[in-house]
Amino acid sequence: MSLVEETVFAQKEKSVDGHGPAEDVFVPLLTTIARDHIEAVILYGSRLLGANPGRHSAYDLVLIVDEYKDFYEALYSANMIHRLPMVMAIMSYVLPPNVIRLAPEGVDGPIAKCLVLNRPDFERSLAIDQAKDHFMISRMMQKVKVIYSKSEAVGQWVQHNLGIARYGVLTWATLWIDQPFDAASLAREMLRICYRSENRPESDGRSDTIFLSQENELVEYYANVLTEAEVKGDMVRDGNGYRTMSPVSMRSRLGRIVYFKVSKLRVTLSWLKHVVTFEGWLPYIVRKVERRTGSEINLTLIEKVLPIPCLVPRVLYVFWNRPKTETEANQDFRMGPDQREN
């Protein structure tokens, strides 16, 4: 990008009404192309939180759809994706959700990384007693913004399920937290648990950065959760904090440890699926790792041609040498011409 192009791109970040590309680009695009197949769109992640997003950071969206195949056929017909709709629909049931990329203006315009789920899968993924892994709970228990819903009823349904995910935090985060605790300490601990439950390239301090970027909202959310839990008899007041009604048992801890181990394995295995569903995954991952580790990455020819399995040693190196602290927000390396998407 030239300096002029970078300035134009920066101006696109916010429109006159304070919205960004999530509302001004992706919602109109999806509702025009997929029409009634889109039930709701949720914005989450570093763009919403302002947690050190780089110029190449994607907009993280959850797309709730009515039927997988019909939705992917609509995107395929509009040349928004290039994988066969039937393949994408089948992959939706293998370690859900599918992750897809939308880049309507090319790689130099806004990019969305979208998690695609139908209504039953969205519901199931946020209920701790039904979820097969912690992937969606880890993201939806935080500050999110519903930027589109097909109807008021759908919007209420989304908020209800977000509430279930947040209330469910009490069944797992309280197993390791020092008691008594308050909303802030609960929110900080739940984020630390979630970051430990996935293989991620960020520093150990990333969860605290994420907490600070949404502290006010999280304290409000979980103060309400704790108040509700006290009314229901799930929590009891102890001074300025709360504690569980009964002591935490070793059996409860062991059960959750197994759950988080299985979740970590499932989420890691899902990376192989994203290679199929997420077009342009390699440049995206390279930029993300550069941004989070503060190290420039230059792929070899063999790594570009055969990323799997040739990238395995590099991936292991990244995880074994994660930075101790967060890199600066403006440390966003530019990829060379030989590493850009085609």
pLDDT of 9 strictly over 80: no
- Give the whole-angstrom CA distance, residue 314 versus residue 297: 10
Q: Is the separation of the CB atoms in 55 and 332 below 8 Å?
A: yes
Residue 215, amino acid: E
Q: In the structure, what pLDDT confidence band is assigned to residue 40 with cuts at 50, 70 and 90?
A: very high
pLDDT number for residue 71: 98
d(CA 275, CA 293): 22
pLDDT for 327? 55
The reported pTM is 0.86
- In whole angstroms, how far apart are CA 166 and each of 109, 126, 128, 155, 162? 34, 9, 10, 17, 6
pLDDT tens, position by position, 238-296 = 999 999 998 889 999 999 999 999 999 999 999 999 999 999 888 888 887 787 677 78
pLDDT of residue 182: 98
The domains of the chain are located at 3-339
The total of other beta-carbon atoms located within 10 Å of residue 151's CB is 10
Confidence category of residue 106, pLDDT binned at 50, 70, 90: confident
**pLDDT digits over 313-327, tens only?**
887 777 777 766 665
215 pLDDT above the threshold of 90: yes
Higher pLDDT, 303 or 40: 40
3-state secondary structure 181-237: ECHHHHHHHHHHHHHHCCCCCCCCCHHHHHHHHCHHHHHHHHHHHHHHHHHHCCEEE
**Cα 302 vs. chain centroid, distance in angstroms?**
30
> Is the model's pLDDT at 18 over the cut of 50?
no
Position 340 scores a pLDDT of 43
Mean pLDDT of 179-202: 94
Q: How confident is the model at residue 8 (pLDDT cuts 50, 70, 90)?
A: very low
* Residue 142 to residue 201: CA distance in whole angstroms: 20
DSSP lists the bridge partners of residue 64 as: 40, 117
Residue percentage of the chain with pLDDT more than 90: 67
Query: What does the alpha-carbon distance between residue 273 and residue 97 come to, in Å, rounded to a whole number?
Result: 10
Pairing of strands 38-44, 59-65: antiparallel
Q: What 8-state DSSP symbol labels residue 242?
A: E
* Mean pLDDT within 217-243: 97
Of 23-32, 45-54, 135-144, 186-195, minimum mean pLDDT range: 45-54
Helix (H, G, I), strand (E, B) or coil at 13: coil
Q: What is the mean pLDDT of residues 92-97?
A: 96
Contact assessment for residue 144 and residue 162, using Cβ atoms and an 8 Å cutoff = yes
State how far the alpha carbon of 93 is from the alpha carbons of 87, 134, 277, in Å.
Answer: 11, 16, 13
Would you place residue 206 in the very low, low, confident or very high pLDDT band (cuts 50, 70, 90)? Answer: confident
Phi/psi at 89 (5° precision): -65, -45
- pLDDT average, residue stretch 156-180: 97
Residue with tokens 């994988």: 83
Residue 193 is predicted with a pLDDT of 96
**Three-class SS state of 21:** helix
* Polymer length in residues for the chain: 342
Environment class of residue 246 by beta-carbon count within 10 Å: exposed (0-12), middle (13-18) or buried (19+)? exposed
What confidence score (pLDDT) does residue 303 get?
A: 85
Write the CA distances from 156 to 40, 118, 119, integer angstroms: 11, 16, 13
